[in-house]
């Protein structure tokens, strides 16, 4: 039987991949290579850190990698807001992307809080 404990089953990871797809869609044609490269790398870092932390098989390590993912998420949010101010995206696209970012942030923070409680119980 296949192991059901896989990072691919985490909704927060799935939503992070969807966010990365949206970031690539919105910025793939940007002439600003530096901006495009940075926002795409930060976006993909979110799901990668969730996956890496999950597969460390340690709640403490998973929590640490989730915190790193949150940092990348904040970087993407800052860049999306900046992209709007630079007229790289319109207001509707900014609001859509920020909505996805905020939802992923809430999910990630909830998971961190859960792991914090689990770690405290196991002391």
How much of the chain exceeds pLDDT 90, in percent? 90
pTM for the full model?
0.93
Q: What is the pLDDT of residues 22-43, one digit of tens each?
A: 999 999 999 999 999 999 999 9
In the chain, % helix, strand, coil (3-state, to 5) comes to 80, 0, 20
How many of the other CB atoms lie within 10 Å of CB of 90? 12
Task: Give whole-number Cα distances, 69 to 16, 43, 45, in Å.
Answer: 10, 9, 7
pLDDT of residue 96: 98
Q: What is the pLDDT of residues 93-112, one digit of tens each?
A: 999 999 999 999 999 999 99
């Amino acid at each position: 039987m296949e192991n059901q404990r896989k990072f691919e089953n985490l909704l927060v990871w799935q939503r992070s991949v969807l966010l990365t797809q949206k970031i690539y869609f919105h910025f793939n044609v940007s002439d600003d290579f530096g901006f495009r490269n940075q926002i795409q790398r930060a976006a993909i870092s979110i799901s990668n850190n969730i996956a890496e932390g999950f597969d460390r098989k340690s709640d403490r390590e998973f929590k640490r990698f989730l915190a790193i993912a949150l940092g990348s998420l904040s970087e993407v949010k800052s860049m999306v807001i900046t992209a709007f101010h630079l007229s790289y995206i319109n207001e509707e696209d900014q609001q859509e992307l920020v909505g996805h970012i905020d939802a992923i942030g809430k999910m990630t923070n909830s998971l961190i809080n859960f792991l914090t409680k689990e770690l405290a119980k196991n002391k």
